[in-house]
Amino acid sequence: MPTLCRPAVAVPEHTISMAETLALARRLHAAHPQLGLVLRLIENTGVRERHLVRPIAETLIHPGFEARNAVYEEEAKARVPEVVRTALGSADIGSRDIDAIFFVSCTGFLMPSLTAWMINNLGFRNDTRQIPIAQLGCAAGGAAINRACDFCLAYPEANALIVACEFCSLCYQPTDTGVGSLLSNGLFGDAVAAAVVRGDGGVGVRLERNSSYLVPDTEEWICYAVKATGFHFQLDKRVPTTMAMLAPALHTLAASHGWDASALDFYIIHAGGPRILEDLRQILGVEASAFRHSRGTLTDYGNIASAVVLDSLRRMFDEDSLPDRAQGVIAGFGPGITAETCVGTWSA
């Protein structure tokens, strides 16, 4: 079975704390009729600090979509190589051993994809498959793991590289003042992550079964309005209630593998927000500590979109407390409303 090796994660050097975020909201939106609600929602996220590719003073200035996308390309090319090299080292392979690159991002746009630049500049073979995934939002981290697993099942001796590059701060829109938009301004952060899925060998999570699930008629709950000024993130107030709709998919996947989703040894869950984590915890009937890695990502970095599951996995690797053959689930949630989930066993 394919093995998901230890992820590498890097966050930018510029930071903004919860206190600074609240003070900024008070200053920029002093006359907002629902400011009190917005402040409470941001405080309730539990996000202690977020990392940004540019200082907050620069982030607040919108120079136009073209300039924003140029920053995205510049920062991606500066920051992706480090995490790629670290992820390859953790998997004990080199760049020429990679047969496919899955690049996921929803915060900038390049064509050709950054995969072409990586092949030309980071030592990958010219016949490496390029598989960019651009429109799954936060679910793309889980989707990339699943598709990399499928690739390695089709080609059992192959190796796949996953790269998640999310600069959510570059999607800040100063004219968007809806409650969902203002909450997002205090929730999302920037990060780059990478991980290798090996078709043979490696240490980590052996990927055994995966699934995709779409909640019908929820396309507009999480979406982008694409305008002259770029991507305008839209978040429906019903999104925090989606776990009741998505949890059955986790139960179905686990049951199809002969497991009980409420009795697993590890849970790597997309930390979209505290309500999502708490609702899913209650539905599954597990202890709060079961989601400690996801909560750690949310607290330290905020919602880093598709990179969340990779950072939560990294925390599990770092803790190094699981016994061999421990059973668990990885789940990414995003626009659609979509769930990308897989189950696997820990292989030490």
Question: Among residues 5, 106, 138, 165, which one is catalytic?
Answer: 138
Tell how strand 159-167 and strand 100-104 pair up: parallel
Dist. CA 267–CA 288, nearest whole Å: 11
* Cα–Cα–Cα angle for 103, 155, 309, rounded to 5 degrees: 35
Q: Quick one: how far is CA 41 from the chain centroid?
A: 21
Residues 6+ away with beta carbon under 8 Å from 341: 142, 146, 210, 211, 212, 213, 249, 250, 253, 329, 330, 331, 332
Residues 6+ away with beta carbon under 8 Å from 78: none
Structure tokens at 280: 């899913």
* CB atoms near residue 198 (< 10 Å): 22
Dist. CA 111–CA 312, nearest whole Å: 30
Residues 6+ away with beta carbon under 8 Å from 238: 221
* 138 among known catalytic residues: yes
DSSP state of 320: -
Dist. CA 316–CA 332, nearest whole Å: 16
Q: If DSSP codes are grouped into helix, strand and coil, which group holds residue 63? A: coil
Question: Residue 102 burial by CB count (10 A; 0-12/13-18/19+): exposed, middle or buried?
Answer: buried
Dist. CA 188–CA 168, nearest whole Å: 6
Which residues participate in catalysis according to the annotation?
A: 138
